[in-house]
């Protein structure tokens, strides 16, 4: 079981440079946990892509896949603890929610967000590095 953020879920759902690695990650460790902020971040990502492609229909399908994957596995992190992490580590409130959830569940946070990787190297790891640790 791992905590993943929107950067990881986006690569699972939308073809990109890390899609193959994220699909392998999901195959090897499919028990993903996210905070509810993932919903908002994924809506933003899909809205941007949908606007660029002038199509919402495909994005709606991806949204349904995201919800099917993550809805039952979402847990709310402590907001005060998230705020403290955001201020202390100089990361966004959104980023802090992923980190707070990982800390409270004593899980690894898999992310491609450089600020998180830099701010919390003891708890966060990139996709490729985490995959290498599983091998």
pLDDT at 55: 78
pLDDT in tens, 52-101: 877 788 899 999 999 999 989 999 999 999 999 999 999 999 999 999 99
pLDDT at 120: 97
The share of the chain scoring above pLDDT 70, in percent, equals: 100
Cα angle 11, 14, 15; round to 5: 85
Q: Which CATH superfamily is domain 2-134 in?
A: 5'-nuclease (3.40.50.1010)
Average pLDDT over residues 95-116: 98
pLDDT at 57: 86
Token pair for 36: 């509810």
pLDDT at 52: 84
pLDDT at 18: 97
Res. 6: pLDDT tops 80: yes
Residue 28's pLDDT band (cuts 50, 70, 90) = very high
Long-range contacts of 18-26 (CB under 8 A, 24+ apart): 18/112, 18/127, 18/128, 21/127, 21/128, 21/131, 22/127, 24/131, 25/110, 25/127, 25/130, 25/131
């Amino acid at each position: 079981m791992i905590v993943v953020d929107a950067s990881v879920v986006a690569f699972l759902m939308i073809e990109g440079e890390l899609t193959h690695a994220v699909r392998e990650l999901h195959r090897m460790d499919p028990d993903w946990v996210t905070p509810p902020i993932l919903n908002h971040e994924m809506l933003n990502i899909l809205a941007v892509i949908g606007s660029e492609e002038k199509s919402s229909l495909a994005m709606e399908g991806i949204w349904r896949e995201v919800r099917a994957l993550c809805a039952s596995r979402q847990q709310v992190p402590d907001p005060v603890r998230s705020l403290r992490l955001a201020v202390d580590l100089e990361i966004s409130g959104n980023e802090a929610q992923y980190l707070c959830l990982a800390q409270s569940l004593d899980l690894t946070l898999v992310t491609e967000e450089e600020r998180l990787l830099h701010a919390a190297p003891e708890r966060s790891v990139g996709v490729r590095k985490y995959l290498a640790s599983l091998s």
